[in-house]
Amino acid sequence: MSKLASKPFWLFIIIFFVSQLAGVIVPIVANIKLAGNAASPVSTMAAALLVANVLGIVLFLLFRPASVTWDSTIAGLRGRNRRRSLLAVATAVPVVLLLNITQELLPELPDLVGKTTFDGIARNPLGCLTISIVGPVCEELLFRGGIQTDLSKRYSHQGWFVPIAMTAAFFAIIHMNPAQLPVAFAMGLLLGFAYWWTDSLAAPVFIHIFNNSLACIAYFLSPDDDSIIRQLGGQAGTAITAAACVLLLFLAFLAMRKEGFEKA
């Protein structure tokens, strides 16, 4: 079992913002150069994101504001927690696919990042590394390992869902982009449940990496059209994929129900 954090949840929000701010300033001040030339705006932003998330991880580990565990991983060989981690991931895969399909079907919300900018960052090696791996690790340490852990301690009398929903709301809002709010909140609920149910960051980190990697994979597979719906073959392919996801989700839910929904 992981130990509950003794530090307030807002400390993790401060760490997040400090790391993001420093990540933006440091590359600009250092005048990052790639291949001997002044970095392009996209390369500078990709480097800034990498610095920000690495700094967030370093600050978390340096101040140790929360004690988290990874021992539900396959290598951890803890029978029950390992089963729960695998089930959480198996359940999350179809959910993530459905969320990404749904995001394309929802009415467009204001995008403060801009598709062109995000596409450029996702195609940049440093940007892809940050989006796919470093960012998820940083955010899971701070949000699930830190914020949710403290909120679970504060609001344990209100049940398991309240801390998860509050953390998911922080997770969505802190992205500061209306276009990402609905799916970010839904992902926050999924990641929060995985952390609560397995009592480990292993499952939520893997789920987060899988979700974020889909975007980079889509860009590399089809640089001119990253639409998941079109890559699935249009409406017919999307419908078949969605039906398969619903079936997989139902089967995973039955397995989770057999395992039990009480906290690990």
Q: What is the pTM of this model?
A: 0.88
> Rounded CA gap, 208 and 237, in Å?
25
Pick from 136, 102, 123: which is nearest to 211 by CA? 136
* Structure confidence at residue 77 (pLDDT): 42
Residue 140 contacts residue 208 (beta carbons within 8 Å): yes
> Rounded CA gap, 15 and 51, in Å?
13
- At 38, is the secondary structure helix, strand, or coil? strand
DSSP alpha helices (H): ranges in the chain? 9-30, 41-63, 79-105, 115-123, 125-129, 135-139, 149-154, 161-173, 181-198, 202-221, 228-231, 234-259
Question: What are the sequence ranges of the domains in the chain?
Answer: 9-259
* Structure confidence at residue 212 (pLDDT): 94
- At 12, is the secondary structure helix, strand, or coil? helix
Residue 174 contacts residue 16 (beta carbons within 8 Å): yes
pLDDT by position in tens, the chain (length 264): 444 445 788 889 999 998 988 877 766 666 555 445 556 777 888 888 999 999 999 988 887 666 666 654 444 445 667 889 999 999 999 999 999 999 888 888 787 776 777 778 888 899 999 999 999 999 999 999 999 999 998 998 898 999 999 999 999 999 888 888 999 999 999 999 999 999 889 999 999 999 999 878 877 777 677 688 888 888 999 999 999 999 999 999 999 999 888 876
Tokens of 194: 């995985």
